[in-house]
Amino acid sequence: MYHNILVPISFDAERDISGPMKLAEMLATPDAQVTLLHVVEHIPDFAISYMPPGYLTEARKAIQSELDDLAAKLPNAKGVVVEGHSGRTILDWTESNKPDLIIMASHRPGMQDLLLGSTANHVVRHAACAVHVVR
């Protein structure tokens, strides 16, 4: 059983977050803290100028609302939105918050993942705690 669980959440259409959510509930101690973390990728400066004013603020609010709704389904869960590169930012968050388990959803790897590497692959290779990947 785990006391501090991190569940990175991707809202991509091909990602099923029900598996990681169920597993977090099963593996958590009764007093465990579960964090649902979403990483907002940095938008390049040249692209941000084409977006309406306030886009990033509204997008973060909408994502936080989605995370809060998901967190309400788990005991002692909270949603956190951060900005950065997904793999590196998840690892940076773990260094600061010391979870004892990361539960990640993953898709079936394709050729681009073999060449570039997926977020789950990056986290599995570099995390200092246990990582459970759910497909």
Per-domain residue ranges of the chain? 2-85+100-134
Comparing CA positions, the residue from 70, 82, 97, 94 lying closest to residue 38 is 82
* Overall average pLDDT of the 55-69 stretch: 95
Q: Which pLDDT score is estimated for 110?
A: 62
Distance CA 83, CA 62 (A): 14
Would you call 52 helix, strand, or coil by DSSP? Answer: coil
Q: Which pLDDT score is estimated for 113?
A: 53
Q: Which pLDDT score is estimated for 12?
A: 82
Q: Which pLDDT score is estimated for 49?
A: 85
Name the CATH superfamily, with its identifier, for domain 2-85+100-134. HUPs (3.40.50.620)
* Overall average pLDDT of the 39-44 stretch: 91
Distance CA 87, CA 36 (A): 15
How many residues in the chain?
135
Cα angle 109-113-116, degrees, rounded to a multiple of 5: 170
Terminal-residue alpha carbon distance, the chain: 21
Q: Which pLDDT score is estimated for 100?
A: 97
Please report, as a single letter, which amino acid is at residue 13: A
Q: Which pLDDT score is estimated for 116?
A: 46
Distance CA 102, CA 41 (A): 20
Q: Residues 82, 87, 129, 132: what is their CA dihedral angle, to the nearest 10 degrees?
A: 100
Confidence bin at 115 (pLDDT 50/70/90): very low
Q: What is the pLDDT of residues 75-100, one digit of tens each?
A: 999 999 999 999 999 999 999 999 99
Q: Which pLDDT score is estimated for 42?
A: 87
Q: Residues 50, 56, 61, 66: what is their CA dihedral angle, to the nearest 10 degrees?
A: 70
pTM for the whole structure: 0.91
Q: Which pLDDT score is estimated for 64?
A: 98
Confidence bin at 61 (pLDDT 50/70/90): very high
Comparing CA positions, the residue from 46, 116, 106, 56 lying closest to residue 81 is 56
